[in-house]
């Protein structure tokens, strides 16, 4: 199983906090997963998840570029964080 989480305005815009996907139906890398989520969700999901500044994490580790995924992983999508 793959757990996918969405945070902050990504969660709000998609009206979805997260989902669990059966591993047998999952892509095996992060870029492919993101592309599949965009395709499944339609134009809104594509618009929200395709922002160039979207941060992606696998198992609580921020990923720059693509990453392999494995059964049991947790993937998170969140906007850039700013401080004040």
| Domain boundaries defined on the chain | 2-78
8 Å CB contact between 34 and 58: no
- For position 32, what pLDDT does the model report? 96
Among residues 81, 79, 71, the alpha carbon closest in space to that of 25 is found at 71
Q: Quick one: 2-78 is in which CATH superfamily?
A: Beta-grasp domain (3.10.20.30)
Residues 48-65, buried b or exposed e (16+ Cβ, 10 A)?
bbeeeeebbbbeeeeeee
- For position 82, what pLDDT does the model report? 61
The list of the chain residues with pLDDT below 70 reads 82-84
Report the alpha-carbon distance of residue 84 to residue 15 in Å, rounded.
27
């Amino acid at each position: 199983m793959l757990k996918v989480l969405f945070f902050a305005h990504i969660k709000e815009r998609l009206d979805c906090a997260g989902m669990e996907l059966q591993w047998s139906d999952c892509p095996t890398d992060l870029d492919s997963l993101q592309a599949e989520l965009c395709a499944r969700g339609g134009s809104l999901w594509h618009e929200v998840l395709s922002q160039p500044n979207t941060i992606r994490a696998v198992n609580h580790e921020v990923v720059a570029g693509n990453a392999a995924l494995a059964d049991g992983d947790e993937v998170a999508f969140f906007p850039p964080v700013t401080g004040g």
